[in-house]
Amino acid sequence: MFSHLPPLNSIRVFDSAARLKSFKAAASELNVTPTAVSHQIRGLENSLGTLLFERKTRAIELTEEGEKLAQVAYLALQQLSTVVSELTDTQTTLTVSTTASFAAMWLVPRLEKFHQLNPQIQVVVKTGEQLDDFDRDKRIDLIIRYGRDDGESLHKIKLVTETVGAYATPRYLENTPRIEDACLIETKWKNQDLPSISWDRVVAGKIDAINRRYFDLEHHVIQAALADQGVALVSSLLVETAIKQGWLVAFPNQPRITGLAYFLMIPIHNAHNHKVRGFQEWLINEFVVA
């Protein structure tokens, strides 16, 4: 029935080269030589009677036929991997892409709960401020990102809209009870597409001379506050653990403002993946009980 199909190994090699857009990178991922990858691709092209890649100087690009095969090959290999993992009950990897601050201050402190419920799934957290491309790196299973609340879509699920408040250590608050005397710490986003959330929105017109300090990541702002350096203007979501532990307290008489939203994004090819759906359900439940 399937005698006309090429060998599975050649499909694995092709999938790697297609995802990474490089024979050399594919060789590294598969622990073989670039020559071996090239031979596998050439053999696959000969058996199919068509070119799958355009070879250019120091680069390769998929042909139209290559694009078609790449989409089907990845889905087939992923489905095969999922079923094999279920049958053998072996550990599988779930790769989550998110921002460094969300990972450090919210996700990682809670991951032990997920591991206890799903010991067979190893969660790998990939951090960065720019949105990853699902099509370029299909090893990413899902993305958690922060931005404007522009609505949900089929594969974009809103998790929560944050509030932003002022937080300091009890010791700093005792020594500096007036906001007018405090060092005010805030985030200047690396991602220029994000709207600014500044102390100007909180203390505008109330303080003539403001002592300011800036960091480009929210968890650096929180760490500065934890080190008694000032009052942090940050997401109440990201300081939940510090509040529960008594390390930070809300600075009194300072208003909270509405921040941005966190979204979960799932690629179409992972919409029915059991480990992705399990992580999605756990994540949503964590926000509900929080």
The architecture of the domain spanning 8-87 is Orthogonal Bundle (1.10)
Reduced to 3 states (helix: H, G, I; strand: E, B; else coil), residue 229 is coil
pLDDT at 131: 62
The answer to whether domain 8-87 and domain 92-160+262-289 are alike in fold is no
Please choose, from the candidates 149, 172, 160, the residue with its C-alpha nearest in 3D space to the C-alpha of residue 102.
160
| Long-range pairs of 55-58 with CB within 8 A, sequence gap ≥ 24 | none
Structure-derived torsion over alpha carbons of residues 145, 150, 151, 152, reported in degrees to the nearest 10: -30
Residue pLDDT, tens place only, 169-213: 999 999 999 888 899 999 988 777 777 788 888 776 666 556 889
Percent of the chain exceeding pLDDT 70 equals 87
Give domain limits for the chain: 8-87, 92-160+262-289, 161-257
- Cβ atoms within 10 Å, residue 172: 23
Q: Burial-class residue 71 by CB neighbours within 10 Å (0-12, 13-18, 19+).
A: middle
Fold of 161-257: D-Maltodextrin-Binding Protein; domain 2 (3.40.190)
- Cβ atoms within 10 Å, residue 244: 9
pLDDT at 39: 93
CB neighbour burial string for 93-117, b if at least 16 within 10 angstroms, e if fewer: ebbbbbbbbbbbbbbeeeeeebeee
Record the tokens describing residue 191, joined without a space.
């991602």
Residue pLDDT, tens place only, 54-95: 988 888 899 999 999 998 888 888 778 767 766 665 458 888
> Do the strands 92-98 and 142-147 form a parallel or antiparallel pair, or are they unpaired?
parallel
pLDDT at 152: 53
d(CA 15, CA 77): 9
How many alpha carbons lie under 13 Å from residue 175 in its C-beta half-sphere? 10
Residue pLDDT, tens place only, 98-153: 988 999 999 999 999 999 998 888 899 988 766 655 555 667 888 998 877 665 55
Beta-carbon contacts of 63 under 8 Å, excluding residues fewer than 6 positions away, are: 50, 51, 52, 53, 54
pLDDT at 193: 74
Fold of 92-160+262-289: D-Maltodextrin-Binding Protein; domain 2 (3.40.190)
